[in-house]
Amino acid sequence: MSLNPQSQLLRNPLILALDVDSDNEALKIVQELNDIVGGFKIGPRLCLRYGQDLIKKISQLAPVFLDNKHFDIPSTMLAAVQASFDAGATLVTVHALSGFEALSQVAALEKELNKIRPFKVLCVSILTSWDQKSLPTNLKEISILEHVLQLSQMVKTAGLSGLVCSPHELEHLNVKDFYAVTPGIRLLTDNHQDQKRTLSPREAIKKGASALVVGRPILESADRRQAAQDILNTLK
């Protein structure tokens, strides 16, 4: 199966979300699966406890996707993206709703940082835990798809190509314009839990995803290595 050409930023398209509370547990998982998965996602759950030290340790072993969804004034977002890069992250999220001015400045910084090493800013569109019914009241006037299309166009115009969206929106985007990262990935036998807009790994890649974020289907498996390998096998 052919992949989006921008997907070479990682070792392979599978990103494992380290949704755990202990740095020792996170490092143990990284050491266990480092030779299988493409990279590891770290969010506030670990960052607020262990900070840059943990990011640096993991980034020495594998690509790190730092997912704190920065949404602030431009200067604060720039500082946060720079700090993420300095800590060793390969991917970092900002929120597309932060607007064109902030995204344009982030794009300029991304360009400069790529002169040092490969680095991608991902713009979060609409959370995969939302469906049309659970959208905030002020966002309900238009559909989730229309939100994603409008935000993705602003991201592109601002000079960025990284986008986070559910796999359901991929087929409506010109995915060749984006490094598209999709959460909400579930196997057919999985419980969707708090994810609303989900697809299987193979379906998401087929629709143009560059990378897939998977957490509990691997973390909660009795055999994590086999669970990760099973997902990659579906992409062949």
Domain segments of the chain as ranges: 5-233
Q: What percent of the chain has pLDDT over 70?
A: 91
pLDDT band at 192 (very low <50, low <70, confident <90, very high): very low
CATH topology of domain 5-233: TIM Barrel (3.20.20)
Report pLDDT for 2.
Answer: 39
Residue 3 has pLDDT above 50, yes or no: no
| Alpha carbon 28 to chain centroid, angstroms | 21
Active site (annotated) includes residue 206: no
pLDDT band at 164 (very low <50, low <70, confident <90, very high): very high
Identified catalytic residue from 28, 41, 56, 69? 69
Amino acid identity of residue 57, one-letter, is K
Residue 184 has pLDDT above 80, yes or no: no
- Quote the tokens at residue 200: 């299987």
> How far is Cα 61 from Cα 152, in angstroms, rounded to an integer?
32
Residue 88 has pLDDT above 70, yes or no: yes
Report pLDDT for 96.
Answer: 97
pLDDT band at 168 (very low <50, low <70, confident <90, very high): confident
The reported pTM is 0.89
How far, in Å, are 79, 111, 137 from residue 86 at the CA level?
10, 15, 38
